[in-house]
Amino acid sequence: MQSSRNKNVLRIPATCKKMGIGRNTLYALVKADKYPKPIRFSEKSVGFLEYELDDRIDAKAAERK
């Protein structure tokens, strides 16, 4: 675990908005191991670490160079 990184947690709607994808697409990408796994806080509450999503954006941006 990275101690120097911001550990903000984004819930599903905020994650979808940040990444520009829908909920079904998000879960399909998670299932295909193309996105980080969500953190489960309770039976009905999950979220994603924002820095892991930022890393995903950086990786996709680097691919286009």
- Dihedral sign for Cα atoms in the order 47, 29, 37, 52: negative
CB 6 within 8 A of CB 50: yes
- Is a pLDDT exceeding 90 seen at residue 2? no
Residues in the chain: 65
pTM above 0.75, yes or no: yes
- Is a pLDDT exceeding 60 seen at residue 3? no
Q: Which percentage of the chain shows pLDDT scores above 70?
A: 94
For residue 49, the cross-strand partners are: 9
Rounded Cα–Cα distance for residues 41 and 32 (Å): 22
pLDDT bin (cut points 50, 70, 90) of residue 6 is confident
Task: Return the pLDDT at 43.
Answer: 93
Q: Where are the domains of the chain?
A: 9-63
Q: Which percentage of the chain shows pLDDT scores above 90?
A: 86
Residue with tokens 């796994």: 37
Rounded Cα–Cα distance for residues 43 and 25 (Å): 21
